[in-house]
Amino acid sequence: MATLDERRIEEIVSRVLERLGAGPSAAPGRPAVQAPAARKGPDIPRGTNGVYADADAAVKAARRAFETVLATPVETRRKMIEGMRACARSNNELLARYAVEETGLGRYEDKLNKLLLVANKTPGTEILRPQAYTGDDGLMLTEHAPYGVILAITPTTNPTETILCNAIGMIAAGNAVVFNVHPSAGRTCNWFVHLLNEAIQAAGGPRDLIVSIEKPTIESAQALMTHPGIRVVVVTGGPAVVKQAMASGKRCIGAGPGNPPAVVDETANLGKAADAIVRGASLDNNIVCIAEKEVVAVDAIASDLIRELKRQPVLWLDAKQTKALESVVLEGDHVNKAWIGKDAGLIAAQIGLGGHGHDLRLIMCEADEQHPFVQHELLMPVIPLVRVRDTADAIAAAVRIEHGFHHTATMHSLNIDHMAAMARVCNASIFVKNDASYAGLGMGGEGYTSFTIASPTGEGLTTALHFTRERRCTLKEAFRFV
Ligand code: NAD
């Protein structure tokens, strides 16, 4: 591996910036075709513990719980969080099945791994460390204090994972939380809220520390955003909900969309890169916001990379098949939502390439930068590869394709200058080098996890720390020991 060379990095960065001068043009429209067959409704138990029909009653209940928890020992809070982790682990199989059946998105076996990751690696109370200064004037202490009642609006793509992640972080920080979940995951989420409340109460915690709305809607989400009992609004979803939350007049933590590129340069280990890209891009049928959504490969290795990708559980399309796929997964210039999160085998069957089972992880093809497969966050296992001249072109294309979300990017390279240059220019909340994107969530990568990655408001991978306000405690003279 080459050593860091500041001059070389600067050179690549300035070439990238130069090439970023030209933006992408609008993508052409495509006709629509049939949607997948309607699903049979799942048999999900009705959540009642902490689940409220009325939004105002939910906020008031959460407020009462917050006031109770203020007087509860931190040790009890720690036990509540342990109980919530254990609850998720012991109900994982059922929750994964309910989530797949109710939302119609993703892969059961991947959902098991996602929720387990959240249960095991979401930081709890241990991340909240007070800071102390001492001197001739005495002691100054900065403590992390709760806000009160937080509103959490959650997506359909990681329904149970976001609930567990937000609940652990918000409760570790001493808050209560009101969930307005995605309507199409309502029953699974309300059942999970019910189970988590049982776990909290069994650990000695109060009722209603987590509450949810029985029939959540966009209207109930918007009403809650401006409810006087809500102190902070935390949203995880697409651009519309982030925009709405930012206009709420409340403190807002906004975790918005991404369109993560995977750049592959001429120094990459192509076998490893292909394996990592397919693992990352196919996670839960690509509905995860951090999952690779397109590959940008330099011309010198693009054909070799394609050869490696074909060794993976990937169906590679030729130009004619790609055209046929456009008419299935696009509606005009937009994504046909009916195919979001569906299995690659099911999508392939729509263009006459049947016979692929659940083991097929991805459909891939070559496309130019302006193609809608590249420009849009498709949220399905359809991944285009864009061929470019050199590394500077690859980084510039990746930055354009990411649309300034600053969410997630990955790179496969053994050249440290290339990696440093891309890190500087893409300025993403998560930048993974030489592994699948999900390593950046701590799945096979170092560090803690979070399923609320706040790029628009800048918190990155949110934890309990972001759900606290700082309070200073000053004590004159007495506490200087040394
Ligand atoms: P979505 O935006 O359709 O819905 C998210 C939540 O916001 C839902 O609860 C929905 O009811 C609510 N909502 C939507 N529009 C609203 C509005 N105008 N006012 C009030 N509430 C509104 O997103 P989704 O389909 O559930 O999830 C996929 C999207 O979320 C993708 O864009 C993905 O990248 C993004 N996402 C981001 C993160 C992250 O951490 N940054 C995590 C998961 C998903």
Residue 254's H or E segment, with its range, is strand 251-255
Measured distance CA(342)–CA(325) in Å, rounded: 14
Name the pLDDT band for 40 (thresholds 50, 70, 90): low
Q: How many angstroms is it from 85 CA to the middle of ligand 1?
A: 24
Within 6 A (CB) of ligand 1 lie 153-158, 181-183, 218, 221-222, 236-238, 240-241, 244, 255-258, 289, 377, 451-453
Q: 418: which residues sit within 8 A by CB, 6+ positions away?
A: 12, 265, 267, 391, 395, 411
Q: For the segment 133-170, what is each residue's pLDDT rounded down to a tens digit?
A: 999 999 999 999 999 999 999 999 999 999 999 999 99
Instruction: Dig out the tokens for 11 from the structure.
Output: 């050179």
pLDDT over threshold 50, residue 27 = no
Start-to-end CA span in the chain (Å): 47
Give the angle subtended at the CA of 14 by the CAs of 13 and 15, to the nearest 5°. Answer: 90
Number of H helices, E strands in the chain: 16, 20
Beta strands 330-331 and 334-335 are antiparallel
Rounded (10°) CA dihedral 71, 77, 79, 85: 150
Name the pLDDT band for 33 (thresholds 50, 70, 90): very low
Q: Ligand 1: which of 241, 259, 340, 463 to mutate, most ligand atoms within 8 Å of CB?
A: 241
pTM of the entire predicted model: 0.93
**For the CA of 153, the nearest atom of ligand 1:** 9
Amino acid at 234: V
Q: Ligand 1: which of 180, 182, 459 to mutate, most ligand atoms within 8 Å of CB?
A: 182
Q: In this predicted structure, what is the pLDDT of residue 479?
A: 78
> What is residue 113's three-state secondary structure?
helix
Q: Where are the alpha helices (DSSP H) in 203-298?
A: 218-225, 239-246, 270-281
Closest residue CA from atom 9 of ligand 1: 182
Measured distance CA(198)–CA(342) in Å, rounded: 33
Q: How many angstroms is it from 45 CA to the middle of ligand 1?
A: 25
Q: In this predicted structure, what is the pLDDT of residue 26?
A: 33
Closest residue CA from atom 28 of ligand 1: 237
Interval 302-320 mean pLDDT: 98
Q: In this predicted structure, what is the pLDDT of residue 24?
A: 34
Strands (DSSP E) along 57-173, which ranges? Answer: 131-135, 138-146, 149-153
Q: How many angstroms is it from 214 CA to the middle of ligand 1?
A: 18
Instruction: Dig out the tokens for 192 from the structure.
Output: 């999970």
Of 449, 474, 477, nearest to 118 by C-alpha is 449
Q: How many angstroms is it from 155 CA to the middle of ligand 1?
A: 5
Name the pLDDT band for 39 (thresholds 50, 70, 90): low
Rg (CA), the chain: 24
Closest residue CA from atom 15 of ligand 1: 241
**For the CA of 450, the nearest atom of ligand 1:** 40
Interval 225-242 mean pLDDT: 98
CB 329 within 8 A of CB 336: yes
pLDDT over threshold 80, residue 41 = no
> What is residue 250's three-state secondary structure?
coil
CB 296 within 8 A of CB 397: yes
DSSP state, 384? E
Render the burial of 105-128: b for 16+ CB within 10 Å, e for the rest: bbbeebbebbbbbbbebbbbbebb
Interval 160-184 mean pLDDT: 98
Instruction: Dig out the tokens for 387 from the structure.
Output: 């061929």
Q: How many angstroms is it from 237 CA to the middle of ligand 1?
A: 2
Q: For the segment 184-227, what is each residue's pLDDT rounded down to a tens digit?
A: 999 999 999 999 999 999 999 999 999 999 999 999 999 999 99
Closest residue CA from atom 17 of ligand 1: 241
Q: Please, how many CA atoms are within 13 Å of residue 355, restricted to the half-sphere of its CB?
A: 3
CB 62 within 8 A of CB 205: no
Name the pLDDT band for 260 (thresholds 50, 70, 90): very high
Measured distance CA(173)–CA(466) in Å, rounded: 9
CB 56 within 8 A of CB 180: no
Closest residue CA from atom 10 of ligand 1: 182
**For the CA of 157, the nearest atom of ligand 1:** 27
Q: How many angstroms is it from 96 CA to the middle of ligand 1?
A: 19
Q: For the segment 48-93, what is each residue's pLDDT rounded down to a tens digit?
A: 999 999 999 999 999 999 999 999 999 999 999 999 999 999 999 9
Q: Ligand 1: which of 165, 178, 215, 289 to mutate, most ligand atoms within 8 Å of CB?
A: 289
Q: How many angstroms is it from 205 CA to the middle of ligand 1?
A: 30
Q: What's the whole-number average pLDDT of the chain? A: 94
Beta strands 430-433 and 453-454 are unpaired
CB atoms within 10 A of CB 136: 6
Q: Please, how many CA atoms are within 13 Å of residue 390, restricted to the half-sphere of its CB?
A: 6
Q: In this predicted structure, what is the pLDDT of residue 390?
A: 98
pLDDT over threshold 90, residue 407 = yes
Q: For the segment 439-477, what is each residue's pLDDT rounded down to a tens digit?
A: 999 999 999 999 999 999 999 999 999 999 999 999 998
